[in-house]
Structure 1
Amino acid sequence: MNGRFSKMHGLGNDFVVIDAREAPLPMSAGRAQAIADRHAGIGCDQLILIEPSDAADVRMRIFNADGSEVEACGNATRCIPLFLGQDVLIETKAGLLNARLAEGGAVVDMGQPHFEWDRIPLAYAMDTLTMPVGWEHLDAPSAVNIGNPHVVFFGGAIEMDEAARLGAMIETDPIFPERVNVNFAQILSPSHIRLIVWERGAGLTRACGTGACATAVAAIRRGLAKGPVTVSLPGGDLMIDWTPGGSILMTGPATHVFDGEADWERF
C-alpha cells in the first residue's frame, strides 16, 4: 500500500502530512508511532492525516510521536493551507478552524479559549487563572484549553534540560486526567514573551502553536501582556492576538520541506 507524504514544519515543529482524502489510510497508535520514529521511520513530532469532511473543506487528524491522537496543533494547522494551496476551513477534534494563506505562512482563527476547570480538564474544581498548586520551585500557574489542555508557568529563563525534567513530571500528574502541555514563559515586555513548551506526547519541540496561544491568553488575563503579543520560541516567533471574549488569531510561518513516497504496510 504505497502512498505519498509531505514533510513540513512550523518553526521547526515538524510533521509528516498524508493526504488520505481519496485513498483512506487506517491509522493506529502503533502505525503513527512507527512513522514518527526518527531512526526507523520517517520522523516527526506529529503525524497529520488529511481526510474528507462533511462539515468543512477537510478533516485534520493529529497523532503525536508517541502514537496518541490529540485534538489540536496550531503549527500543523498553519501548514494545511500551504499543503492544499488555498485558504481552508478545517475540521478538527477541537472544532472548525479557519486558516488562510499569508506571506511565508498562514493566519489561523484558533477559536475561543476555555478556562473552566472541567474544560481543561482538571481532576477537581479550582481557580484556573492562578492555580493553587506547584511543583518544586514552580507554582501558581494558569490553565487554558485551546482545543487541548495547557498549563502555563510565568517566571525567569529556564534551561532546556530542566524544562524537559519538569515537563515530563507535570504532564503526567494526576491533576491532569488527560495529561497536559506544559509552558514555561518569561515575560520580556507587555508585547513580547519568551516560551519553551513540553508537548504532551511529544516532549520538547522547537515550537508549539497552541502553547503560544495559551501563554499569550494567560498573560493577557493576568494583566502581564496586551495583544498583539510576539511569542518567541526556540524555532522562531509567532504573533498572537486575543481580546477577552473573542477568538485567538495566530500568525506565523509554515514550510514545505520535501515530498516522498512510502509503503505504509511497512509501518
Structure 2
Amino acid sequence: MSALRVTKGHGTGNDFVLVADAEGELELSPARRAAITDRRFGVGGDGLIRAVRSENLDEGRALLEEHPDAEWFMDYSNSDGSVAEMCGNGIRVFVHYLLETGLASLEPGHSIAIGTRAGVRDVHRLADGYAADLGRWGLDGSEPLVRARELPVARPGLGISVGNPHVVVALASDAELDALDLSAAPVIEPAPRGGANVEFVVPSDPLVVDGIGRIRMRVHERGSGETLSCGTGAAAAALAVRHWAGSSAPNEWRVSVPGGVLGVRMFAAEDGEHVGLSGPAVLTFDAELTDVG
C-alpha cells in the first residue's frame, strides 16, 4: 500500500486527522477510517476529514448546482468510521488546513463556502481563529429522558438540530457535571433514529455577564465517545439554555468545554434564525502512513 500523507489538527481539543484527496480517488472504507483514527494503532483522533473538490463527490456535485462557489467539500467521519453530517470544530480546522496547505486562500475578514452533508456552510476568517455559520437551527420536537453513569436519575433532554442531531440535558451543579462517567454512551429514551450527540450543561451563576451568556458543557458524541469539545454541541447547548431562560436571554454565549472556550452567536437570516460558532483551529503535525488500515 502506498504511503498516505496526513495532518493532525484540533479545535479546542476536538482532534482530527486530515487527508487531501482533491480528485476523490482514495479508497477510505469505514474500517480504514476507523483504523487511522484509532488512538493506539493509528494516528488517533475524534474524526477523519477528507478534503475533496466538490465536483468529484456525488454529494458535492449536488450542492454546486445552487452554490457554485463551494469548491471544497468536507468529507467527515467519526472515529468509528461512520459518516456524519457536520462538525463545527472540524470545519474550522478544515478551512485552516486548506489555507496552510495552499489548497485555498482567504484573507482575514473574508469568508469561504464549504460543502458538507448538512449543506453549504460559510466560514469567516478572524484575526485569531474562524467563525462558522452553522445555518438554520431548529427544535426537533423531542424531549427524551437521558440516563448516564453517575447520574442518579434520568433527566429530561431537549432535541435540537444544528445540521446534525443533539439532545441537551441541564444539570444542577458543576459537581454533578464533573461526576458524570461518559466512558459509556448515555441512554436516550426513546432512542432517536440514527442516534444523537448528548450534551450535559450547567449554567454559570450569574448566567449573563456583560450581555454574554455563560455555560459549561461536557459531551458524548455518537461514533466517537466523550470528546474534549464539540462545536455543534456547544451551539446546541447554548440554544437550549437560551430556550429555557426565556425571551430575555442573550443571543451571544461563551461555552466552556474541557478543551477550551467557544463562542456561539444567534442571528437573523433570510431563511430564519442561524447560529454561528467561533473558536481556534490548530494544526499540530504531518505524517506519512504506510501500514494503517
Q: Please, what TM-score do these two structures have when normalized by structure 1?
A: 0.88
The answer to whether structure 1 residue 234 and structure 2 residue 252 are counterparts is: no
Gaps (5+ residues) in structure 2?
A: 55-60, 65-69, 100-105
Residues 169-212 of structure 1, C-alpha deviations (whole Å, 9 max, x = no match):
326x5521211101000000131000001111111111000100
The answer to whether structure 1 residue 259 and structure 2 residue 271 are counterparts is: no
Q: Answer with 208-217 or 244-253: which moved more.
A: 244-253
Q: Which amino acid aligns with 2:48?
A: L
Residues 31-88 of structure 1, C-alpha deviations (whole Å, 9 max, x = no match):
0110011111111110001111142121111111111111111000111221112342
Q: Which residue of 2 aligns with 1:75?
A: 89
Q: Please, what TM-score do these two structures have when normalized by structure 2?
A: 0.80
In the TM superposition, what is the alpha-carbon distance from 1:163 to its structure 2 partner? 3.9
In the TM superposition, what is the alpha-carbon distance from 1:229 to its structure 2 partner? 0.3
Q: Which residue of 2 aligns with 1:218?
A: 240
1:187 pairs, out of 203, 223, 238, with 203
Residues 219-264 of structure 1, C-alpha deviations (whole Å, 9 max, x = no match):
112226422100000000001011473111111011011112223x
Count of residues paired in the alignment = 252
Q: Which residue of 2 aligns with 1:201?
A: 223
The answer to whether structure 1 residue 176 and structure 2 residue 192 are counterparts is: yes
1:96-135 to structure 2, matched below 5 A, reads 96-117=120-141, 128=142, 131=143, 133-135=145-147
Q: Which amino acid aligns with 2:191?
A: I
Distance in 2 (CA, whole Å) between partners of 1:10 and 1:134 is: 27
Distance in 1 (CA, whole Å) between partners of 2:182 and 2:85 is: 22
Gaps (5+ residues) in structure 1?
A: 118-127
Cα pair 2:24 2:52 within 8 Å, conserved: no
Query: Alignment identity in percent?
Result: 33
Q: Which amino acid aligns with 2:156?
A: A
The answer to whether structure 1 residue 39 and structure 2 residue 51 are counterparts is: no
The answer to whether structure 1 residue 64 and structure 2 residue 78 are counterparts is: yes
2:274 pairs, out of 247, 251, 254, with 247
SS of the equivalent of 2:185 reads helix
Larger Rg: 2
Distance in 2 (CA, whole Å) between partners of 1:116 and 1:35 is: 33
Q: Which amino acid aligns with 2:159?
A: A
Aligned CA-pair RMSD: 1.9
Q: Which residue of 1 aligns with 2:180?
A: 162
Distance in 1 (CA, whole Å) between partners of 2:135 and 2:179 is: 33
Distance in 2 (CA, whole Å) between partners of 1:230 and 1:134 is: 24
